[in-house]
Amino acid sequence: MFVQAIEEVGGFTRAFHIIQRRYGDKAIFPDCGTLFFVNDEGYAITAKHVAAAIPAADQMEKKYREFVGERNRLKRDASYRFEEKLLEKRFGYAKDTIMQLRNTFVDCVEGGDGFTCTFHPKYDLALIKFNNPVRLCYKGHAVFAKEPPKQGQFLCRLGFPFPEFNNYRYNEVSDAIEYYKGGVPVSPRFPLEGMVTRFLRDADQFFGIEMSTPGLPGQSGGPLFDSAGTVYGMQYSTNSLHLGFDVIDQPIRIANNERNVTDYSFMRLGQCIHVDIIKSFLREHSVTFYEE
C-alpha cells in the first residue's frame, strides 16, 4: 500500500545521528532522529527535542573542558579524590550523566555555510536551514495536504529507529568522541503504518494527530504521509495509555512449569504535529512549501 510512497518520501527524509558519552566512561552510545526537506532551498523540519541536541553538544563540551581544566589544577595528594568529588558535585557529574555529545546530518547537503536552526515557541517543531549548500544530497521535497486527515484514515511514518551506524570512536588524545570515515555510516530507514485515532488539542487549536501505533525512538522528526506520499504531519512523541487489563501475581504454566506472572497492559499511541501547525510555522518564516 505504501511501497511507492516510501520510495518517494524516502528521497527527502534523512537521518540525524547522535552519539553520547557518560561521565567516567569511554563507551559511546548511538542515537538517532529524523528530518525531512520541504523545498529545494535547503529547508527541513524536525522535532524540537531532536534539534535541541545541536546547541546541547557545544554547551556540554564547553562545560566538560572547564571541568577538566579545574580538575587538572588539583594537587595530586591524599585529598585529591575528596576535592575531585566536590568538583564533580559542583559541575553536576555523576556516573550516568551525559557529558559529551556529538551529532551529524546524514546525506543532506554538501558544502555551504553551516546551518541555522529555529525552534517553534510552543510545539515540538524546529526548522533547519542549510545555508548556501554546494549540492543537495536529497531528492524531491514534501508536498503537504491542503486538508487535515480524518479519523480512520490510514497513514505511514518514516524514520530511523534501531541505529546501526558505528562510524564513531573515542579519541584518547583529545579525550573526546568523534565520527570518522569508516565503519557503517548509515542506518536503515523504517516505516510504520497506523490509523488516525484522535486529534490533539490545547486551549488554542488542534495541534496534533494521534495514531493507533507507536512512533518509535528515532522516528521523531519524520514525516506522516498517505499512500500517495502527501504529508499530513510529523512524528514527535508516543503516549502510553493504561488499558486496565492487569494481571497481578497470576499463576500460569510455561513449559510445564508453573510461574506467577505480573503484567500491566498499555497501548502505545504515536503523536504527530498537525500539518496545519507545520504550514503555519513555515509561512511565519517565509519558507516556500508545496500543497496538493
Taking the C-alpha atoms of residue 121 and residue 87, their distance in angstroms, rounded to an integer, is: 35
Give the model's pLDDT for residue 229. Answer: 98
Question: Does pLDDT of 54 surpass 90?
Answer: yes
* Domain interval for residue 271: 3-291
Name the domain count of the chain.
1
The pLDDT mean for the chain works out to 95
Q: What angle do CA 87, 171, 76 make, to 5 degrees?
A: 35
In whole angstroms, give the CA distance from residue 84 to residue 126: 39
What confidence tier does 9 reach under pLDDT thresholds 50, 70, 90?
very high
For the stretch 240-286, pLDDT in tens is: 999 989 888 898 888 888 889 888 899 999 999 999 999 999 999 99
Exposed/middle/buried for residue 196 (C-beta within 10 Å: 0-12, 13-18, 19+):
buried
pLDDT tens-digit readout, 16-38: 999 999 998 899 999 999 999 99
Kindly state the average pLDDT of the residues 48-73. Answer: 95
State pLDDT tens for residues 109-149: 999 999 999 999 999 999 999 999 999 999 999 999 999 99
Long-range CB contact pairs, 170-176, < 8 A, 24+: 170/21, 170/26, 170/28, 175/68, 176/61, 176/100
pLDDT-derived band at 10 (thresholds 50, 70, 90) equals very high
Judged by DSSP in three states, 248 sits in strand
* pLDDT score of 212: 98
Query: Is pTM, for the whole model, over 0.85?
Result: yes
Residue 95 and residue 24 in contact, taking contact as beta carbons nearer than 8 Å? yes
Query: Residue 105: which CATH number?
Result: 2.40.10.120
Q: Is 220 within 8 Å of 34 (Cβ atoms)?
A: yes
The pLDDT value given to residue 253: 87
* pLDDT bracket for residue 288 (50, 70, 90): very high
Please say if the pLDDT value at position 161 is more than 90: yes
Q: What is the CA radius of gyration of the chain?
A: 22
Average pLDDT over residues 76-105: 94
The predicted structure's pLDDT at residue 247: 87
Q: If you average pLDDT over residues 8-14, what whole number do you get?
A: 98
Dist. CA 28–CA 20, nearest whole Å: 6
Query: Considering the chain, what percentage of its residues have pLDDT values greater than 70?
Result: 100
Confidence of residue 169 (pLDDT cuts 50, 70, 90): very high
What's the mean pLDDT in 73-93?
A: 94
Looking at residue 24, what is its pLDDT?
87
Count the alpha carbons within 13 Å of 47 in the hemisphere toward its beta carbon. 27
Instruction: Annotate 33-42 with b (16+ C-beta within 10 A) or e (fewer).
Output: bbbbbbeeeb
Nearest to 37 by CA among 8, 4, 13: 13
What count of other Cβ atoms lies within 10 Å of the Cβ of residue 225?
27
Asked if residues 148 and 276 have their Cβ atoms less than 8 Å apart, the reply is yes
Confidence of residue 187 (pLDDT cuts 50, 70, 90): very high
